[in-house]
Amino acid sequence: MQIFAFYLFASIVIASAAFCIFVRNPVHSVLWLILAFFNAAGLMLLVGAEFIAALLVIVYVGAVAVLFLFVVMMLDIDFAELRAGFMKNLPLGLLLALVLMAEIIFGIGAWSAGGMGEATAVVGPQAGGPSNIEALGTLLYTKYVFLFEAAGLVLLVAMVGAIVLTNRKRGGVRVQNIQSQVRRQPEDATRNEQPEVGKGVEL
């Protein structure tokens, strides 16, 4: 059963990653990417990392990819232009692919050579041991607490930076003032008059 699930997820990941690159339409591309993320989460479930799998779906599929899709959907797609850029970017793309492949090969080499102590420990949670969340939590908040906080700080700086870069005051924009809208009473807006016949009402 597990073998079957592994090959199912793995083949879908690879196929959808390939489709993500090769399809012409960027929206389809993002959707294939989402499928790849989702099946990668399935693979993580198989190695017993259910917390990481859930986070992958929540963060990447649920938030990041939605924003991708959001942006890509609004593009005005010109297919001829898309194809024209292909040859120009090919050397850079090949270089990147080469670097990534070298990293993967080095990673596998280091892992099979034994790694640094902990990497050789038993992979996956043991039955009856602490759950994924507990194990990760204790490790993150005790042993790696400074690295964890530093990562948080980096993210905070990035967030503040993004807000500073995009938040600029523009003149001539009409904004909603919620307080004044809530405070507004019927008496401020309406008036009850009984005009005499033949007389109008001054507005």
Nearer to other proteins, 51 or 148 (CB): 51
Q: At 89, list the tokens.
A: 């970017």
- Among 5, 8, 62, 150, the residue binding other proteins under the rule CB under 8 A is 62
Q: Is position 130 an interface residue for other proteins (rule: CB under 8 A)?
A: no
Piece in contact with other proteins (CB under 8 A), picked from 14-22, 62-70, 78-86, 166-174: 62-70
Q: Is position 57 an interface residue for other proteins (rule: CB under 8 A)?
A: yes
Cα–Cα nearest to 97, from 87, 105, 108: 105
- Among 92, 113, 164, 178, the residue binding other proteins under the rule CB under 8 A is 178
Q: Is position 69 an interface residue for other proteins (rule: CB under 8 A)?
A: yes
- CB burial class (10 A; 0-12, 13-18, 19+) of residue 132? middle
- Work out the angle between the directed axes of helices 26-46 and 2-22 (0-180°, nearest 10): 160
Q: Is position 34 an interface residue for other proteins (rule: CB under 8 A)?
A: yes
Give me the amino acid identity at 19: F
CB 142, min distance to other proteins, A = 15
Q: Is position 31 an interface residue for other proteins (rule: CB under 8 A)?
A: yes
**Residue 194 DSSP class:** -
- Chain length of the chain: 203
Q: At 184, list the tokens.
A: 């507004």
**Residue 50 DSSP class:** H
Piece in contact with other proteins (CB under 8 A), picked from 66-74, 84-92, 103-111, 161-169: 66-74
For 123, 125, 134, the CA distances from 138, given in Å and listed in that order, are 17, 14, 6
CB 175, min distance to other proteins, A = 9
CB 58, min distance to other proteins, A = 5
Q: Is position 3 an interface residue for other proteins (rule: CB under 8 A)?
A: no
SS3 string, 110-125, reads: HHHCCCCCHHHCCCCC
* Residues at the site binding other proteins, with contacts judged by CB under 8 A: 1, 27-28, 31, 34, 41, 50-51, 54-55, 57-58, 61-63, 66-67, 69-70, 73-74, 131-133, 176, 178
